[in-house]
Protein backbone atom coordinates (compact mmCIF):
# COMPACT_ATOMS: atom_id res chain seq x y z
CA UNK A 1 0.00 0.00 0.00
CA UNK A 2 3.05 2.29 0.00
CA UNK A 3 2.24 2.91 -3.68
CA UNK A 4 -1.27 4.07 -2.76
CA UNK A 5 0.11 6.67 -0.35
CA UNK A 6 2.65 7.91 -2.91
CA UNK A 7 0.01 8.03 -5.67
CA UNK A 8 -2.39 9.92 -3.37
CA UNK A 9 0.24 12.53 -2.51
CA UNK A 10 1.15 12.95 -6.19
CA UNK A 11 -2.51 13.28 -7.17
CA UNK A 12 -3.17 15.91 -4.48
CA UNK A 13 -0.06 17.90 -5.45
CA UNK A 14 -1.08 17.83 -9.11
CA UNK A 15 -4.61 18.95 -8.26
CA UNK A 16 -3.24 21.83 -6.19
CA UNK A 17 -0.93 23.00 -9.00
CA UNK A 18 -3.39 22.51 -11.89
CA UNK A 19 -5.01 25.98 -11.64
CA UNK A 20 -1.57 27.60 -11.93
CA UNK A 21 -1.03 26.33 -15.46
CA UNK A 22 -2.34 27.82 -18.70
CA UNK A 23 -5.64 26.52 -20.11
CA UNK A 24 -4.31 26.00 -23.61
CA UNK A 25 -6.00 22.72 -24.58
CA UNK A 26 -8.97 22.02 -22.31
CA UNK A 27 -12.24 20.19 -22.70
CA UNK A 28 -14.19 16.97 -22.38
CA UNK A 29 -12.85 13.78 -23.99
CA UNK A 30 -13.81 10.14 -24.48
CA UNK A 31 -11.59 7.23 -25.32
CA UNK A 32 -11.30 3.52 -25.77
CA UNK A 33 -8.59 0.92 -26.17
CA UNK A 34 -8.03 -2.79 -26.67
CA UNK A 35 -5.00 -4.72 -25.58
CA UNK A 36 -3.40 -7.68 -23.95
CA UNK A 37 -3.35 -8.30 -20.20
CA UNK A 38 -0.93 -10.67 -18.45
CA UNK A 39 -1.31 -12.36 -15.07
CA UNK A 40 1.16 -14.53 -13.17
CA UNK A 41 -0.36 -15.79 -9.94
CA UNK A 42 -0.16 -18.68 -7.49
CA UNK A 43 -3.85 -19.54 -7.09
CA UNK A 44 -4.60 -22.16 -4.41
CA UNK A 45 -1.15 -23.69 -4.98
CA UNK A 46 -1.61 -23.78 -8.77
CA UNK A 47 0.63 -21.61 -10.91
CA UNK A 48 -1.29 -19.46 -13.40
CA UNK A 49 0.63 -17.67 -16.15
CA UNK A 50 -1.91 -16.46 -18.70
CA UNK A 51 -2.71 -13.70 -21.17
CA UNK A 52 -6.11 -12.28 -22.00
CA UNK A 53 -7.71 -9.78 -24.36
CA UNK A 54 -8.73 -6.64 -22.47
CA UNK A 55 -10.50 -3.38 -23.17
CA UNK A 56 -10.95 0.02 -21.56
CA UNK A 57 -13.46 2.88 -22.00
CA UNK A 58 -12.71 6.33 -20.57
CA UNK A 59 -14.13 9.82 -20.28
CA UNK A 60 -12.65 12.86 -18.63
CA UNK A 61 -11.70 16.49 -18.62
CA UNK A 62 -8.45 17.80 -20.09
CA UNK A 63 -7.67 20.91 -18.00
CA UNK A 64 -4.68 22.01 -20.10
CA UNK A 65 -1.82 20.54 -22.14
CA UNK A 66 -0.38 18.94 -19.00
CA UNK A 67 -3.18 17.64 -16.79
CA UNK A 68 -6.41 15.63 -17.06
CA UNK A 69 -8.78 13.75 -14.76
CA UNK A 70 -10.49 10.66 -16.09
CA UNK A 71 -12.84 7.89 -15.10
CA UNK A 72 -13.53 4.70 -16.92
CA UNK A 73 -14.30 1.02 -17.11
CA UNK A 74 -11.66 -1.68 -17.59
CA UNK A 75 -12.20 -5.38 -18.33
CA UNK A 76 -9.32 -7.84 -18.18
CA UNK A 77 -11.27 -10.51 -20.04
CA UNK A 78 -10.68 -14.12 -18.88
CA UNK A 79 -7.34 -15.57 -17.86
CA UNK A 80 -7.55 -19.30 -18.56
CA UNK A 81 -5.05 -22.02 -17.74
CA UNK A 82 -5.33 -25.82 -18.07
CA UNK A 83 -3.03 -27.85 -15.83
CA UNK A 84 -2.38 -31.52 -15.19
CA UNK A 85 -2.35 -32.18 -11.44
CA UNK A 86 -1.58 -35.80 -10.54
CA UNK A 87 -2.95 -37.02 -13.87
CA UNK A 88 -6.18 -35.05 -13.48
CA UNK A 89 -7.03 -32.09 -15.70
CA UNK A 90 -7.60 -28.83 -13.83
CA UNK A 91 -9.11 -25.86 -15.65
CA UNK A 92 -8.59 -22.48 -14.01
CA UNK A 93 -10.47 -19.35 -15.07
CA UNK A 94 -9.85 -15.95 -13.51
CA UNK A 95 -11.58 -12.74 -14.52
CA UNK A 96 -11.79 -9.20 -13.22
CA UNK A 97 -13.26 -5.87 -14.23
CA UNK A 98 -14.03 -2.55 -12.62
CA UNK A 99 -14.02 1.21 -12.68
CA UNK A 100 -11.08 3.62 -12.64
CA UNK A 101 -10.70 7.16 -11.35
CA UNK A 102 -7.39 8.91 -11.78
CA UNK A 103 -5.16 11.66 -13.10
CA UNK A 104 -2.97 11.92 -16.18
CA UNK A 105 0.08 14.14 -16.53
CA UNK A 106 1.25 14.88 -20.09
CA UNK A 107 4.46 16.22 -21.59
CA UNK A 108 3.87 17.64 -25.09
CA UNK A 109 6.85 17.12 -27.41
CA UNK A 110 5.65 19.22 -30.32
CA UNK A 111 2.20 19.93 -31.67
CA UNK A 112 1.24 16.33 -32.44
CA UNK A 113 3.16 14.06 -30.02
CA UNK A 114 3.16 13.75 -26.23
CA UNK A 115 4.23 11.39 -23.49
CA UNK A 116 2.05 10.79 -20.44
CA UNK A 117 1.91 9.09 -17.06
CA UNK A 118 -1.22 8.11 -15.20
CA UNK A 119 -2.18 6.96 -11.71
CA UNK A 120 -5.38 6.36 -9.87
CA UNK A 121 -7.71 4.01 -8.05
CA UNK A 122 -9.18 0.82 -9.53
CA UNK A 123 -12.50 -0.31 -7.98
CA UNK A 124 -12.81 -3.91 -9.11
CA UNK A 125 -14.36 -7.30 -8.55
CA UNK A 126 -13.49 -10.70 -9.92
CA UNK A 127 -14.31 -14.36 -10.11
CA UNK A 128 -11.98 -17.34 -9.68
CA UNK A 129 -13.08 -20.76 -10.89
CA UNK A 130 -11.53 -24.21 -10.82
CA UNK A 131 -13.21 -26.78 -13.11
CA UNK A 132 -16.17 -24.38 -13.61
CA UNK A 133 -16.84 -24.10 -9.85
CA UNK A 134 -16.53 -20.65 -8.32
CA UNK A 135 -13.80 -20.63 -5.66
CA UNK A 136 -13.68 -16.93 -4.79
CA UNK A 137 -15.31 -13.63 -5.71
CA UNK A 138 -12.78 -11.01 -4.62
CA UNK A 139 -13.47 -7.29 -4.70
CA UNK A 140 -11.20 -4.47 -3.67
CA UNK A 141 -9.91 -0.99 -4.44
CA UNK A 142 -6.28 -0.84 -5.53
CA UNK A 143 -3.99 1.47 -7.46
CA UNK A 144 -3.03 1.54 -11.09
CA UNK A 145 0.03 3.21 -12.66
CA UNK A 146 0.99 3.58 -16.29
CA UNK A 147 2.41 5.57 -19.10
CA UNK A 148 2.47 5.90 -22.83
CA UNK A 149 2.40 8.19 -25.83
CA UNK A 150 -0.20 9.94 -27.98
CA UNK A 151 -0.05 11.04 -31.60
CA UNK A 152 -2.52 13.53 -33.08
CA UNK A 153 -4.38 12.14 -36.10
CA UNK A 154 -6.58 15.23 -36.39
CA UNK A 155 -7.09 18.27 -34.15
CA UNK A 156 -9.57 16.28 -32.00
CA UNK A 157 -8.58 12.63 -32.52
CA UNK A 158 -5.46 11.15 -30.93
CA UNK A 159 -3.99 7.66 -31.24
CA UNK A 160 -2.87 6.31 -27.83
CA UNK A 161 -0.41 3.51 -27.01
CA UNK A 162 0.18 2.66 -23.37
CA UNK A 163 1.21 0.28 -20.62
CA UNK A 164 -0.68 0.14 -17.32
CA UNK A 165 -0.04 -1.96 -14.21
CA UNK A 166 -3.11 -2.76 -12.12
CA UNK A 167 -2.79 -3.95 -8.55
CA UNK A 168 -5.26 -6.79 -7.84
CA UNK A 169 -5.05 -7.57 -4.12
CA UNK A 170 -1.66 -9.32 -3.78
CA UNK A 171 -0.93 -9.69 -7.48
CA UNK A 172 -0.49 -7.41 -10.48
CA UNK A 173 -1.64 -7.43 -14.08
CA UNK A 174 0.19 -5.58 -16.84
CA UNK A 175 -1.85 -4.33 -19.79
CA UNK A 176 -0.44 -3.11 -23.09
CA UNK A 177 -3.04 -1.42 -25.26
CA UNK A 178 -3.70 0.66 -28.35
CA UNK A 179 -6.63 3.03 -28.59
CA UNK A 180 -7.87 6.56 -29.17
CA UNK A 181 -9.14 9.69 -27.45
CA UNK A 182 -11.55 12.16 -28.99
CA UNK A 183 -11.69 15.72 -27.62
CA UNK A 184 -14.83 17.80 -27.93
Cβ proximity of 57 and 29 under 8 Å:
no
Domain count, the chain: 1
pLDDT tens digits along 4-33 = 555 455 444 444 444 444 444 689 999 999
Supply the pTM of this predicted model: 0.79
Residue numbers of the domain that contains 93: 2-183
CATH (domain of 70)? 2.40.160.20
**Is it the case that residue 87 has pLDDT exceeding 50?**
yes
Reported as a single tens digit per residue, the pLDDT across 156-169 is 999 999 999 998 88
CA-CA distances (angstroms) from residue 25 to 38, 68, 108, 133, 152? 34, 10, 11, 50, 13
Residue 59: how many other CB atoms lie within 10 Å: 14
Q: Are 142 and 126 in contact (CB under 8 A)?
A: no
Amino acid sequence: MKYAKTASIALLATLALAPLTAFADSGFFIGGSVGSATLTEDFDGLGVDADSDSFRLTAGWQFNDYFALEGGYHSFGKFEESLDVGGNPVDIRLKADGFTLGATGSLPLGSSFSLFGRAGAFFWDGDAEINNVSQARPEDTNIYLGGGATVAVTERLRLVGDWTRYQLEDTESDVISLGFTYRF
